[in-house]
Amino acid sequence: MIPKCLLIAGVTLLAACTSAGPRGPDIVKSGNAVTATRATEEKFALIEVDRTVAKRASAEIARNRGWHANQGAGPVRLGIGDTVQVSIVSTSDAGFVDFNSNAISPVSTAALPAQKIRETGRINVPPIGEVEARGKTVSDLEQELTRRLSEVLVEPSAVVQLVERQSARAYVVGQVAGTGPVALDEVNARLIDVITKAGGPTARTEDLEVALSRRGRSAAIPMDLLFRDPRYNIQVLPDDVITIQPPSTKITILGAASRNQTLEFNETDVSLVEVLGRSGGLQNRRADRLGVFLYRMLPREVVASLGVPVQDLPGETIPAVFRFDFSEPTVYFIAEEFDVQDGDMLYISNNLYEEIDALTSLFRSVVVSPVNSAQSIID
């Protein structure tokens, strides 16, 4: 019989020298799961993954990327560097001489040369001189010019045309034919319009993502999703930065994998099977096939859509743990349909029998080896 002191020492030594994490049953039966009866400070959603859950979770990745809200089309306000052309139209009962036709016409039209709005924010409009144009819409400027011209002309009317807009620009960088600023010269300049003006992508849309940075906040979506779903084709605002680049998806793998590491994929859709394949898969003896877990933070509404009761889960963002049972042969088809996302953590729990075997090996080393050594001394 092994002495009690050696048993305690062996267990303590095993716990101290191993980096093994919790076993599968420890996570499944954890009091921190939403099904727990005891109170906890931190609760999480435990989601058993089947094919329906895999498809729904993958679809939610695309629908919940934190994409920018569409602020809608706004009025075009003139700014420094914009080119405008002003035409002055006057009417008179006495008529005006049309020298082109040698006739009398009741309408006189004078088109001024196109001019840029100067750094002072003004343009020159004879016969009234300089007029403030910066910050005005085309309609505002027409009304202002008409009011000023009526002081020196008979029933005048001003027509303003925005020839070229340079004051409002978005910036397109990355894998496009022409990087740099793109003038937003339309009231409804949407994302696809701006990318097209930059020459379009230089690689397949399936291999790229679109990142849009606006006022200190950045969000990214797969580029093919932009062309498939019109909800993502939002209005581009001045000073937006649009980056076209291959995606980067980082997954951290811990536990009883062939190697603990962080993998990076330059792809838009990466399945759990691809992650396991790249990492070397589960360790044959050490891994608990019943306990493969993927950790992910999810919006509250997404957790509810996956069938988890959320009334006991606080907060708008909920820690979620997806559980895969790799003892079932069909789980590989399910894992193929389950897409990972950037920031996921995959944990493969340790097999209970492997830990028992490790403990047995430890006892052999602390009990049998000293006996053999003592016997050799006696001999």
Contact 153, 159 (CB under 8 A): no
Q: How is domain 83-164 classified at the architecture level of CATH?
A: 2-Layer Sandwich (3.30)
Dihedral angle sign, alpha carbons of residues 280, 284, 287, 291: positive
* pLDDT digits (tens), the chain, 379 positions: 455 554 455 555 544 444 566 777 777 777 777 664 555 567 899 999 999 999 988 887 766 567 888 887 778 899 999 999 999 987 655 555 454 554 455 567 788 999 999 999 999 998 899 999 999 999 999 999 999 999 888 788 999 999 998 899 999 999 999 999 999 877 778 999 999 999 999 999 988 999 999 998 888 888 998 999 998 999 999 999 999 999 888 999 999 988 899 999 887 678 999 999 998 888 888 899 999 999 999 888 889 988 899 998 988 889 999 999 999 989 999 999 999 988 999 999 988 766 566 555 655 555 555 545 444 544 5
4-48 per-position pLDDT tens digit: 554 455 555 544 444 566 777 777 777 777 664 555 567 899 999
Q: What is the pLDDT of residues 155-165, one digit of tens each?
A: 889 999 999 98
> Whole-angstrom Cα distance, residue 221 to residue 208?
9
Per CATH, 17-65+249-357 and 169-245 having the same topology is answered yes
Q: Where are the domains of the chain?
A: 17-65+249-357, 83-164, 169-245
d(CA 85, CA 63): 45
Confidence (pTM): 0.58
Who contacts 137 (Cβ-Cβ below 8 Å, separation ≥6)?
A: 75, 76, 77, 78
Q: What is the three-class DSSP state of 3?
A: coil
Fold exhibited by the domain 169-245: Outer membrane lipoprotein wza fold like (3.10.560)
63's tokens:
């629908």
Question: How far, CA to CA in Å, does 199 sit from each of 119, 223, 292, 329?
Answer: 30, 15, 45, 48
Distance CA 43, CA 169 (A): 46
Class level of CATH domain 17-65+249-357: alpha beta
Burial 85-123 (b: 16+ CB within 10 A, else e): ebebbbeeeeebeeeeeeeeeeebeeeeeebebeeebeb
**33 secondary structure, DSSP code:** B
SS3 content of the chain, % helix, strand, coil (to 5): 30, 35, 35
Residue in 23, 12, 16 with CA at minimum distance from that of residue 354: 23
291 Rama sector, left if φ>0, alpha if ψ -120 to 50, beta otherwise: beta
